[in-house]
Amino acid sequence: MSIYIHKAGLYSSLQDKGRLAGMTYGVPISGAMDQNLYHFTNTVLENPADLSSMEFYQQGLELEFTSPTFMCIGALGGDFKLNDIAVEPFKILKIKRGDLLKIKQLTRGNWGYIAVKGGFESERPFNSQSFYKPITKRQFENDDVLIYKAFDGESGGEAPVLDMSYYKTSELEVFKGPEFYKLNHTLDYQLKHADFSLSRSLNRMAYQIQERLANDLEEIITGPVLPGTVQFTPAGKMIVLMRDAQVTGGYPRILQFSEKSINQLSQMRVKSKFTFKLTEINSKKI
């Protein structure tokens, strides 16, 4: 009743919607980097959208299933083989004992998800299975075992289709951050009109933007931050906090990504270009 991990790949971990219960103890929210893709992958299997899923980064996984289940790969594009036969993402794949899944690489996006019918079993500190050291282990390693309940029933039939246009934009929706009002006209103009690109520094804690802007703002008194908060460092770097970000920070918070744009950014690769679309947060009223 498990997946035996022959090759764990890079930064593979168990993720779900994340945990808010630990924030007052300094525990990050965590959760799947791309919540949209993670939810969708569960939906394909007719799982509740917030069941835990295995998240992986770009390449190099080899997983053996020891019990029957239904499995779905959530990924924007890549090279996936089940028992050496090519398989597609977002399909309901019937798994039997001994099946071997090989993920060579993702051809689009950074993060992919492997969901099974009924989700995975693991400890739930602060009401979430998301990995975050020192609350849980940091990431999967070769020869680890991931438990799930065997499922031998019928599949739900036709799988829904992911709206890929969600990921085709290079315009990322942002709101004004708490310190935006302190920016001078030049910075205000640059943020609204310039092209930006992603640096090499991308991880579950933060994505750094390559371009630097002149920063004459003072540091702030340490205050609350959230995934999607854009911190502006004294050296002029912009750091977009991601799911494993600390819960407090001392750099000016100049922008705030929307939940949708955090998901979009999470899948952008090094050197990807984008612009900010500054939106009034209250204009989003439903």
Partner 1 sequence: MTNKSARIFQLNECSILIEFDREITKNLLYFLLNLKENIFLNKREHILQVTNTYNSVLVIYKSTINNFNSEKNNYFELISNLSTTDIPKSSTRKISVCYELDFGLDLEEVSEKTGLSISEIIKRHTHPVYTVYFIGFLPGFPYLGGMDSSLFCRRKSTPRSKINSGSVGIAGSQTGIYPSSSPGGWQIIGRTPLSLFDSHKTDTPCVLSPGDSLQFESISKEEFDNLQSHPSDIKP
Q: Which residues would be at the binding site for partner 1 (CB under 8 A)?
A: 20-27, 125-126, 134-135, 175, 177-178, 221-224, 226, 228-229, 246-248, 256-259, 281-282, 284-286
Residue type at position 252: P
CB of 226 to partner 1, least distance (A): 6
Q: Residue 205 CB, nearest distance to partner 1 (Å)?
A: 11
Residue (of 196, 170, 165) closest to 261 by Cα position: 170
Which residue, 124 or 269, has its beta carbon nearer to partner 1? 124
Task: Using the minimum distance from each CB to partner 1, give the nearer residue, 39 or 117.
Answer: 39
Residue 276: how many CB atoms within 10 A of its CB? Answer: 21
Nearer to partner 1, 134 or 153 (CB): 134
Residue 143 per-residue DSSP state: T
Write down the least CB distance from residue 264 to partner 1, Å: 15
64, 71 contact by CB (below 8 A): no
- Is the Cβ–Cβ distance between 103 and 56 less than 8 Å? yes
Report the DSSP pairing between strands 229-232 and 111-116: unpaired
What span, in angstroms and rounded, lies between the C-alpha atoms of 30 and 252?
A: 22
Q: Which is nearer to partner 1, 55 or 173 (CB)?
A: 173
CB of residue 176 to partner 1, shortest distance in Å: 9
Specify the residue, 3 or 242, whose C-beta has the smaller distance to partner 1.
242
The distance of closest approach from Cβ of residue 178 to partner 1 in the complex, given in angstroms and rounded to an integer, is: 6
Pairing outcome for strands 273-278 and 171-176? parallel
